[in-house]
Amino acid sequence: MIAVIGQSVLDRTRWPDGTIEQRLGGAPVFAARALADVCPAVVLTHGGDVSLRRPLLDTGLEVVAGPSRRTTVFDVSLFGDGTWAESISVLGDPFTEEDVRGWMAPALEPCSAVVCGTQWRDDFPPETLAALARGGRRVYLDGQGPTRPRRLGPVRVEGPLDPATLVGVEVLKLGQPEAEAVIGGIDPLAAATLGVPVVIVTLGERGAVVMTGGKAVAVPVEPVLGLADTVGAGDAFLALVAAALEGGADPVTAVRRACDGAAAHLRARLLAEQPAITAVAAGK
């Protein structure tokens, strides 16, 4: 069983036509959709309310919501070509070691792995990651959060990363800008200094690179073009990597399966997006 952990985020999303949509964001919803038909999983989250989190319940996975005082809020602007800009308007509560020992504990008991979807630096502090790793659980960490300083305003990626903040992490996923900030790009020797056995750099429509054992292996993917909204693709990808590795795949095979699986989800989203775009263009 895999546990997906992350903030339930309120995304205020501006589409290219100027329409503003308020919707559930954050790693759990995208990871849960990817895992729903793949392997047993449970979602652990906080932030928002039952109404905001309803899309999580629609995945059919068990959802455990913990207490929080604040909900993370992002303002997201989609540019229409698959890229976007985002700004943090409100910072929610971090996940704490006490959370792991408390409200998370029953759901974590049967889990062999946890996928941590991060939003900003220290929303998963080192002691929380260490607590999640106890008992032999493998920790999969999205590196976007650790490269985002804890501050409001436009999201900017900054390095370096202190290896001490990655205690217990088995797999670290970085986007290309994050890899540039943290290890200077695709550099397996620099990646090894982080102390994480497997570092994966995602390259969007060009696939990903797996770095382990001092070597780098490129994994291509058939690109999905013409999609305006690619938000959450990285969250789905990391969850699918975890599912493949927990199923016994080697890292390169796992990344290949995750690339194909994430692309399939984006193609389904493209099919859903096209009628909406056509309707807007027709003035309906």
Give me the pLDDT at residue 134, please.
93
DSSP for the chain?
A: -EEEEEE-EEEEEE-TTS-EEEEEESHHHHHHHHHTTTS-EEEEEESS-TTTTHHHHTTTSEEEE---S---EEEEEE-SSS-EEEEEEE--PPP-HHHHHTTTHHHHTT-SEEEEE--STTSS-HHHHHHHHGGG-EEEEETTTTTS-S-SEE--------GGGGTTEEEEEEEHHHHHHHHSSS-HHHHHTTT-SEEEEE-GGG-EEEEETTEEEEE------S-S--TTHHHHHHHHHHHHHHTT--HHHHHHHHHHHHHHHHHHHHHHHHHHHHHHHTT-
The predicted pLDDT at position 284 comes to 47
CA distances from residue 137 to 27, 84, 101, 131 in whole angstroms, order as listed? 19, 34, 14, 9
CATH topology of domain 2-281: UDP-N-acetylmuramoyl-L-alanine:D-glutamate ligase (3.40.1190)
Sheet holding 9-14, edge to edge: 20-25, 9-14, 73-78, 84-90, 153-154
First to last CA, the chain: 45
> pLDDT value at position 69?
95
pLDDT of residue 167: 86
Q: What would the two tokens of residue 266 be? A: 């984006």
Within the chain, which residues score under 70 in pLDDT? Answer: 274-284
Residue 72's Cα: distance from chain center in Å?
15
Q: Give the angle subtended at the CA of 212 by the CAs of 211 and 213, to the nearest 5°.
A: 135
Tens digits of residue pLDDT in 244-254:
999 999 999 99
- What does pTM read for this prediction? 0.94
pLDDT for res 282:
44
Q: What is the pLDDT of residue 207?
A: 96
Residue 226 near residue 165 (C-beta atoms within 8 A): no
